[in-house]
Amino acid sequence: MADPLNHPAVGRVSAALKELGATGTPRTLDQSARTAAEAAVALGVEVGQIASSIVFALPLGDGQLEALPLLVITSGRHRVDTKLVAAELGVEKLERADADFVRRWSSFAIGGVPPVGWQEQVDGVKAPIRAGAKLTVLVDEALNDYEVVWAAAGHPHCVFPTSFDELLRVTGGKAAKVGD
């Protein structure tokens, strides 16, 4: 296997982390970290320390031509409660995002979606996207229970260390209860 740290997606995450003044850098795991459980085993940490990036599609609003992405960065110790999150955002329900939707909005494949380095793809052109008009980001307040949390770095074998406060800062996200 080629070194995953040389993968262009990991390079994009590394560049974003540096640009945003984050303290961690991506590292390679010997085994896949496609799930929080896999990542926790590979790192030798609690599953709750894994910051999983879960993408949903927000329902269309008045005059909205397409669904917009919602990034929920959740602790690996629980699943996202979609009813709770929908109520937090004042929407009727959240829609599941398929692989094409995730790639269109983030430029990453499911299984390695990081919280930073997103690029929206429109007509073959990529442009950086952060929390704001097109992207809503919620960061699970349960991640604040840990000094160090680990997030995907753009490849199923790469993660980076960070903290709850740093995730809020680098993503422009909002702290929220997203599950039990």
- Specify the pLDDT at position 64: 62
Q: Which residues of the chain have pLDDT under 70?
A: 1, 61-65, 133
Q: pLDDT tens across 28-54, in order?
A: 988 877 789 889 999 999 999 999 999
Structure tokens at 24: 């961690």
Q: What are phi and psi of 75, to 5 degrees?
A: -65, 140
Q: How many distinct structural domains can be found in the chain?
A: 1
Domain that holds residue 102: 4-176
High-pLDDT (> 70) share of the chain, %: 96
Q: pLDDT tens across 18-34, in order?
A: 999 999 999 998 887 77
d(CA 5, CA 139): 25
Q: What are phi and psi of 8, to 5 degrees?
A: -55, -35
Report field, pTM of the whole predicted structure over 0.85: yes
Residues 6 or more apart whose CB falls under 8 angstroms from that of 158 comprise 4, 5, 7, 10, 13, 26, 27, 28, 29, 33, 112, 152
d(CA 136, CA 41): 30
- Specify the pLDDT at position 62: 66
- Specify the pLDDT at position 35: 84
Structure tokens at 133: 């008009």
CATH of the domain at 100: 3.90.960.10
**Cβ–Cβ under 8 Å, residues 138 and 8:** no
